[in-house]
Amino acid sequence: MIYLDYSANTPSCEEVLLSFLEAERNYPGNANSDHTLGRQAKAEMARITSSVADMLGVRANEVIFTSGSSESNNTAIFGITAHKNKGHIITTKLEHASVSEPMRILESRGFDVDYADIMPNGKVSPDSIKKLIRGDTVLVSVTAVDSELGTVQPIREISEVVKSHPGCVFHVDATQAEGKIPFSLDGVDISCCSPHKFYGICGVGIMIKKSHIRLEPLIHGGSSTTLYRSGTPALSLAASAEKALETANVHLTERYETVKRHNDELREFFKAYDKVKINSPSDAIPHILNLSVDGIKGTVFRRELDKYGVCVSVKSACSSDGMPSDAVLAICGDRRRALSSWRISLSHLTTTDEIEQFKEIFDRCYKTLIK
């Protein structure tokens, strides 16, 4: 089996699993309970929260643990707009479904949603946002790194545009950035990441809400360690998130360089196939390599690779198959190419042998499907 879908999920590393187990064993109390074990759990939860805040360069009261980025994105989008009957929102065609679907719902409720222009290099145009933004714009939502192409977006430049409109909130989905590349939250009002994207455990997310931002919680039902998410604090999952973030930061450069070598090798390899078009820009994160094979739907090529034990994806894991990639369509305007696109996502765990085996299998599938 050759796993090349690391942008969908990564295997939890040993240190993360151990941190989860230790927290489970050592802190049986509910952090919301007012007794000795409850207070011990609450103190540990506070320590973890402060540690995560330090690593992300924010305040402890700005950290909210969730179940993952989908919950975080929904909380941010619906929480910002909760007390408004209408207003203007700017987003992009590059967003994950946990952003694009809430936008569709808000549009059906009367909000005016505009989509910023995507430049030929796959980046969101800050000038387009500058032209679109207006007095009643309540939210600008842009991904830090899109999950299909791996394009690194000009977040700092966009934040400068948003900053000039005090009533507008800047939301950034950093799910494909955090733990993979250096990422700053300067100028960002609300952001999120999911540790399972960088060798943590599924079921926990980290949401950052700057202290000056008003937000209506998505989940209600009693007091907890944060005002913005009711329920029993998942201390063990929070501990695992802390360890995943810490480990990712320590090994960030060496992991990046390993992945880049694999990406460079595959880009060179695909040059030999005249029907292959690379969709990911040259300066995308190396973890994601999106390509199209002319005349062959992405779902068809994925199924052919799967016969040989190669796991890749068509669009992001949370998107529905059968429709063209919005991200690819946005950069090239070619519906057929967008329908033919699929994604390889790489890891420092990917081996040289796996890359060689993949190349052999790809060649076999290519020759089978191209007639």
Is 318 a known active-site residue?
yes
Backbone angles phi, psi at 137, to 5 degrees: -75, 120
Which contacts of 114-117 are long-range, i.e. CB under 8 A and separated by 24 or more positions? Answer: 114/88, 114/89, 114/90, 115/90, 115/91, 116/90, 116/91, 116/92, 116/142
Contact between 191 and 202 under an 8 Å Cβ cutoff? The reply is no
Catalytic one of 192, 318, 332, 365? 318
| Residue ranges with strand state E in the chain | 2-3, 63-66, 88-91, 112-115, 137-143, 169-173, 190-193, 205-209, 276-278, 288-293, 310-311, 341-345
3-state class (DSSP) for residue 12: coil
Contact between 137 and 111 under an 8 Å Cβ cutoff? The reply is no
Element (H, E) at 359: helix 352-369
Which contacts of 281-285 are long-range, i.e. CB under 8 A and separated by 24 or more positions? Answer: 281/121, 281/122, 281/123, 281/149, 281/151, 281/331, 283/121, 283/151, 283/152, 284/122, 284/145, 284/149, 284/150, 284/151, 284/152, 285/145, 285/150, 285/152, 285/176, 285/177, 285/180, 285/181
Distance CA 265, CA 259 (A): 10
Which residues neighbour 287 within 8 Å (Cβ) at sequence distance 6 or greater? 6, 7, 150, 176, 180, 259, 263, 345, 346, 347
Cα 17 to Cα 49, 181, 238, distances in angstroms: 18, 23, 12
Catalytic positions, please?
318
